Every structure is written in C-alpha cells, then in structure tokens.
Chain A
Amino acid sequence: MIIQLVHEPVAADPLMESITPPECGAVVNFLGVVRNQHHGRQVLRLEYSAYESMALAKMQQIAAQLKERWPVHDLAMVHRLGTLEIGDTSICIALSLPHRSDGFEALRYAIDTFKEEVPIWKKEYFADGEARWVEGS
C-alpha cells in the first residue's frame, strides 16, 4: 500500500505496476489534473498546501475503509503538494482488485471521500494577477 504526499511530479504507471499482483484482473485509476480555467477565468498555476500529518492520517482511514468494503487487493493514493502547472497530476488513486465492477465503485468512493475529508487546499493563480484559496468545491 502506498499512501504519500509528495513534492515531485506524480507518475501513475509505476504506482499502478507496483500494486498489481498476478491474481488481480483489474486496476482502476483516477488522476486529478490541473486545468487551465475556473468558471471561465484563466488559471496559470496552482499551489497545493496540506495539514500534512492529518492528511496522511485521513488517507490511511480512507484506505482502510476501501479494504473493508470492497475486495481491494492493494492501493496507491498519492497527492502532490507545492506549485503545479497546467496539466500536472495533482492526485493519483489506483486500486487493484479481482474484478472491475467493485473497482469503479470503490474508486468513486475513494476520490469523493478524499475531496471531503482530507485537509489539503489549493490556491489558484489567475492570469489577471489575482490569487485565491479555493475552499470547498
């Protein structure tokens, strides 16, 4: 199981490979990617900041819930912090399971719960020079 906050680019492929044993028929993966606009305003870059110790604790809790509710064999949950440019991956959640149907459901639960419970915040830097914290989505 890989649960991390990182300050470097997130590479999904190695994460997925490392959680996939031969007995699993499915790996499902969600990537959050920095987009270039918010409600029509041009975004230049983002800065992610976290209450790191609590964020990791919450991520561990979500992982435990996933394993309890679905036949998740292994998982990776990695969020990047610091400055991210357009197109950069902010989060990767990958799950390996025997079958795909459980995988989609568990993955949906994982990212939805992450976005509600994990204390991480993004600050948007707009093309017009303004910057603001996004609080709530």
Chain B
Amino acid sequence: MNRLPRIPETVIMMLGREVRVEITVLLFASLRDDLGSSSIQLEVPQSTITVEELLKLVKERFPVLRQRLGAVRVAVNQEFRNGPESIPERAEVALIPPVSGG
C-alpha cells in the first residue's frame, strides 16, 4: 500500500497582486480509483474558502468525480466539517466517501 503524504502542503503563490492559494485535497476509495490519483490540487482565489465552495470547485475542475460527490463528507484537519464552515490555510483537507470499515 502506498503511504499517504502526512501533511499536504499548501503553497501560497503571488500572482501579480492577487494572493492565490493552492489546496491539496486527499482522495480515498472510489474517488482515488476514478481519478487514478491519491490527491488533487486546487488553486483558490482567496486565502480561505468554505467546505461548500471547495466541493463546487472540485465538481467544476474534476467532472469525473462529480457523481460521487453528493455522498462525500469533507474532513478538515481530520474532523468532519459542514458546508458553511471555512477551511483555514494550510489545513489538511480530504474527501471522505461513505465509510465501510468494521
């Protein structure tokens, strides 16, 4: 099994005068298989976004994941977070499909 990156890096880039933030989002299970990758990079136009905004961006930029996102929960720093909650800079972000352990 591949080890996951422990702490995904958030890279802040200066593009002109605008601050753009790149968020790494970890993928698991079907999402990982569908995309063939254990993470995605999203460039966001402001330093913090909400969980809802993150999901919208993923839908737009990774259409292959779209149909599965309805059931997905978002974990921020390893805690489940709801739509209106914001994602702090440099947070560890993951998309969590319905779990099936046990």
Contacts and interface: CB of A to CB of B under 8 A. Distances in A.
Interface residues of B, number: 20
Interface in A75-128: 79, 81-82, 90-91, 111, 114-123
A37 to B, nearest CB: 16
Given A51-B4, A51-B26, A51-B28, A117 B99 contact: yes
Interface stretch (B10-18, B46-54, B81-89, B90-98): B90-98
A121 B4 contact: no
Contacts of B99: 115-121, 135-136
11 contacts: A32-B102, A49-B28, A54-B94, A111-B102, A116-B99, A123-B29, A133-B29, A135-B29, A135-B71, A135-B99, A136-B100
Chain A: interface residue count, which band?
A: 20 to 34
Interface of B: 1, 4, 6, 26, 28-30, 33, 71, 75, 78, 80, 94, 96-102
B101 A122 contact: yes
Contacts, number: 82
Given A49-B1, A51-B4, A133 B30 contact: yes
Given A53-B78, A82-B1, A48 B101 contact: yes
Contacts of B80: 117
Interface of A: 7, 32, 48-55, 57-58, 79, 81-82, 90-91, 111, 114-123, 133-137
Contacts of B30: 133, 135
Given A51-B96, A52-B4, A135-B29, A118 B101 contact: yes
